[in-house]
């Protein structure tokens, strides 16, 4: 289980990292809002623990941005004591739970377990972009009634491209996210999967396309369904 913590109070962050690592979670800690968003977008986290008041970018806007991009990582917001409206705003922004500071770090463990138990209920089960619908459970890709099944890697590549539609996704991002940071997957692995996906997009008759940006990566461009 991988957990991302965005919290600028070092002592609290260090305490959370320690207790989570003791409980055998893999933990990444970042200390400002911009890093929080970048890590949450790129890392494959099971849970995101996000402070509300962060330098750079506040926790609510991070979660809204993630949800907007189709990233459904279960999220616990950390709020300061007494800021009751934070709870409402936190849940509105797409957060799944919140904790009021100060709290016992051990309480976070209980919340994490609860969140993972109901993870199935909060995770989005499909991603719709343009004329395409990607089923995040079955890995079926549908376009106006026509369906094709994607292999796990094809699904992972297309999921990342669709979630970042109309923005550049570099080859390094794809390799890190789909094959893993430590993998020695080469560029031509990525190219092979892009080529499989183009065939499948064409098979279902989609007007969306994966554009190659030479020496950089790819961009998923879409047209609205007719
Ligand atoms: Ca803070």
pLDDT tens sequence across 1-50: 889 999 999 999 999 999 999 888 899 999 999 999 999 998 789 899 99
The token pair at 145 is 């009634």
Give the residue-averaged pLDDT of 137-159.
91
Residues 93, 105: Cα–Cα separation, whole Å: 24
53 alpha carbon to ligand 1 midpoint, in Å?
4
What is the whole-number distance in angstroms between the Cα of residue 10 and the centre of ligand 1?
10
Burial class (CB in 10 A: 0-12, 13-18, 19+), 209: middle
- Tell me the CA–centroid distance for residue 217 and ligand 1, in Å: 35
**Distance between Cα 124 and ligand 1 center (Å):** 28
Q: How far apart are CA 159 and CA 117, in angstroms?
A: 24
CA of 22 to the centre of ligand 1 (A): 24
pLDDT of residue 127: 82
Where are the alpha helices (H) located in the chain, listed in sequence order?
A: 10-22, 33-42, 59-68, 84-92, 105-117, 119-122, 152-163, 171-174, 187-203
Place of tokens 């892009």: 194
Distance 54 CA to ligand 1 centre (A): 5
Report how far ligand 1's centroid is from the alpha carbon of 82 (Å).
14
* Percentage of residues in the chain having pLDDT higher than 90: 46
How much of the chain is in helix, strand and coil states, percent to nearest 5? 45, 25, 35
Distance 119 CA to ligand 1 centre (A): 26
């Amino acid at each position: 289980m991988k957990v991302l913590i965005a919290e600028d109070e070092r002592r609290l962050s260090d305490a959370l990292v320690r207790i989570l690592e003791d409980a055998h979670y893999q933990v990444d800690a970042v200390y400002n809002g911009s890093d929080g968003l970048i890590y949450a977008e790129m890392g494959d986290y099971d849970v995101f623990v996000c402070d509300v008041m962060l330098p750079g970018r506040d926790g609510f806007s991070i979660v809204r941005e993630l949800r907007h991009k189709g990233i459904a990582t279960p999220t616990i917001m950390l709020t300061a004591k007494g800021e009751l409206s934070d709870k409402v705003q936190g849940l509105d922004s797409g957060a799944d739970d919140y904790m009021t500071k100060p709290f016992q770090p051990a309480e976070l463990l209980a919340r994490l377990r609860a969140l993972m138990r109901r993870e199935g209920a909060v995770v989005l089960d499909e991603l719709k972009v343009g004329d395409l619908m990607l089923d995040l459970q079955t890995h079926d890709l549908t376009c106006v009634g026509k369906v094709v099944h994607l292999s796990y890697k094809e699904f992972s590549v297309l999921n990342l491209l669709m979630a970042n539609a109309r923005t550049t996704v570099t080859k390094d991002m794809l390799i890190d996210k789909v094959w893993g940071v430590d993998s020695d997957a080469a560029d031509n692995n990525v190219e092979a999967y892009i080529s499989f996906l183009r065939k499948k997009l064409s098979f279902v008759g989609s007007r969306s396309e994966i554009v190659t940006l030479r020496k950089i990566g790819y961009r998923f461009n879409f047209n609205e369904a007719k």
